[in-house]
Amino acid sequence: MTVSILLFLPIVAAVIVALLKNGVAKHAALFFSVAQLVIALIFLSKFVPDASTQFRIDAPWIPKFGIYFSAGIDGISMVLVLLTTLLVPIIILTTYTHEYNREGAFYGLILFMQAGLLVVFTALDGFLFYVGWEAALIPIYFICALWGGENRIRVTIKFFIYTFAGSLFMLVALIYLYLQSPAGTFDLHNFYTMSLDVKHQTWVFWAFFLAFAIKMPLFPLHTWQPDTYTEAPSGGTMMLSGIMLKMGIYGILRWMIPNAPLGFFHFQTLTIILAVIGIVYASIIAFKQKEGKRLVAYSSIAHVGLIAAGILAWNIQGVQGAMLQMLNHGINVVGMFFIWDIIIRRMGTQDTDQLGGIAKVAPRFAIGFLIIVLGTVGLPLTNGFVGEFLLLKSVFTYGAGHFGNLVIAAFAGSTIILGAVYMLRMYKKVMQGETNPLTATFKDVSGVEKFTLCLICVLVIALGIYPQPILHISEAAVTQLVNEIGAKFTM
């Protein structure tokens, strides 16, 4: 059994769903996405949590140019596969109360995007990685352009230009590594064994960094994100925020640092500073937001900045914290955008100044909203706590012994306080107080909305109480990778 079934099933499913009529397409998309999750769980049941790559496929593709269809799953990939296959059916469920023109095309694009994401998270060949990277971009472009908000065309073009430009930098880095490879292949592990000097590793580092920093996004390459998240349809926003931005984080972990360790080491402090600036900047901007989706968008920038800082500190705790928090952030941000999707559909606005008192007329919705908010701010016994604790410990470990670095770590820690303040403030404005003529008509969740909200809340609590299974999956692979790259820093 190889990973190929995970990569090709969503492509076949996308074609089938795209040909179906409205009313049938969403049910078929949900069926295929659940089937993908079941397959991923079968892989998980057979997965041995060591540092090896399992379920490999390694078939000639364009052997003349050293290109192979090579993919597999190790502990790092396994977490991202679970993230993708878990969130896609949840995202499809959140769209069940929407009506889309050309519904088959909408859900077909979501499934095709899932295929591209899974290719990115499992590729062991640089060319295949790039193909998956671009394959995930194309569907989301059309999802935003065809089903987005009033300013969708302008915003989508900006998003496409940003991400496509970053992709070109990455392609240059991959081609350069291929040309330097004695074996003449795009094989990832072959790249790892190469010994480029500091100057050439620095160029490779920056080419990768620009591509991955745009995708995440990190400050100052983040400006496409708030507008895109706001204008995209809810399902597209969830795919972008819940899964797609993890491509950049994964790229830093799998491709940038291992292939250019000396270049990374030279600019390590600078990259951490950029991540921390993003945390503080996005948190301050989030304070001033009156639109719910835009507030969540800036919150996402802050949380991703902390994940990036934890990885860039480069120790086992930080990378393990990032693995856990990628999964948790995906669950929480999908939950937050689902909350605002419900509010916008019922109230016709996302302006927090026009809302209030919803908890009095919708207690089930209020409880679900509160659980997701508490997970987002990292309250103990919710899913955000352990990951943020490990990430902050990682950054403070990096800062120990140097006052300047310790100051950077202290600013990184501000994300906990700032995030709690603006998130709880938003919850109070929207849910507490007296109802007004608008919010008095708010209907509580029921049916598929209630089921989906309960599912997200269960994940928030379950992963908060017992995160160890996720950490166990990635522990061996993370330990080996961090130690191998750490040894190169001293060479």
Q: Which residues pair with 62 in a beta bridge?
A: 67
Give 254-286 pLDDT, tens digit per residue: 999 999 999 999 898 899 989 999 888 898 898
Q: What is the pLDDT of residue 339?
A: 95
Among 298, 234, 255, which Cα is nearest to 167's? 255
Q: What is the pLDDT of residue 160?
A: 82
Cα(137)–Cα(159) distance, rounded to whole angstroms? 10
Query: Are the C-beta atoms of residues 464 and 382 closer than 8 Å to each other?
Result: yes
* pLDDT confidence band for 356 (50 / 70 / 90): confident
pTM over 0.85: yes
- pLDDT at residue 491 tops 60: no
* pLDDT confidence band for 490 (50 / 70 / 90): low
Q: What is the pLDDT of residue 399?
A: 63
Query: Are the C-beta atoms of residues 65 and 182 closer than 8 Å to each other?
Result: no
Cα(411)–Cα(343) distance, rounded to whole angstroms? 33
Q: To the nearest 10°, report the CA torsion of 33, 38, 41, 46.
A: -130
Q: Which residues contact 417 (CB under 8 A, 6 or more apart)?
A: none
* pLDDT confidence band for 43 (50 / 70 / 90): very high
- pLDDT at residue 81 tops 90: yes
Rounded to the nearest integer, the mean pLDDT of the chain is 89
* pLDDT confidence band for 373 (50 / 70 / 90): very high
Instruction: Retrieve residue 488's tokens.
Output: 């190169």
Q: Is the dihedral of CA 163, 169, 175, 180 positive or negative?
A: negative
Q: What is the pLDDT of residue 150?
A: 75
Give 420-478 pLDDT, tens digit per residue: 888 999 999 999 888 888 888 899 988 999 999 999 999 999 999 999 999 999 999 99
Among 84, 93, 89, 82, which Cα is nearest to 33's? 89
Q: What is the pLDDT of residue 106?
A: 93
Neighbours of 171 (CB within 10 A): 17
Cα(378)–Cα(464) distance, rounded to whole angstroms? 9
Which residue reads 């906990």 in tokens? 416
Neighbours of 424 (CB within 10 A): 14
Q: What is the pLDDT of residue 1?
A: 76
Query: Are the C-beta atoms of residues 320 and 478 closer than 8 Å to each other?
Result: yes
Which residue reads 């050309």 in tokens? 102
Q: Which residues contact 66 (CB under 8 A, 6 or more apart)?
A: 178, 181, 183, 184, 185, 186, 187
Query: Are the C-beta atoms of residues 289 and 227 closer than 8 Å to each other?
Result: no
Q: What is the pLDDT of residue 327?
A: 95
Phi, psi at residue 22, to the nearest 5°?
Answer: -60, 145
Instruction: Retrieve residue 68's tokens.
Output: 């192979």
Instruction: Retrieve residue 472's tokens.
Output: 């166990």
Q: What is the pLDDT of residue 405?
A: 63
Q: Is the dihedral of CA 272, 273, 276, 281 positive or negative?
A: negative
Among 90, 124, 126, 80, which Cα is nearest to 110's? 90
Cα(297)–Cα(318) distance, rounded to whole angstroms? 23
SS3 of residue 280 by DSSP: helix
Query: Are the C-beta atoms of residues 212 and 248 closer than 8 Å to each other?
Result: yes
Task: Give the H or E element holding residue 157.
Answer: helix 152-180
Give 205-241 pLDDT, tens digit per residue: 999 999 999 988 888 888 888 888 888 888 889 999 9
Among 274, 285, 289, which Cα is nearest to 412's? 274
Query: Are the C-beta atoms of residues 491 and 64 closer than 8 Å to each other?
Result: no
- pLDDT at residue 395 tops 60: yes
99: left (phi over 0), alpha (psi -120 to 50) or beta: beta
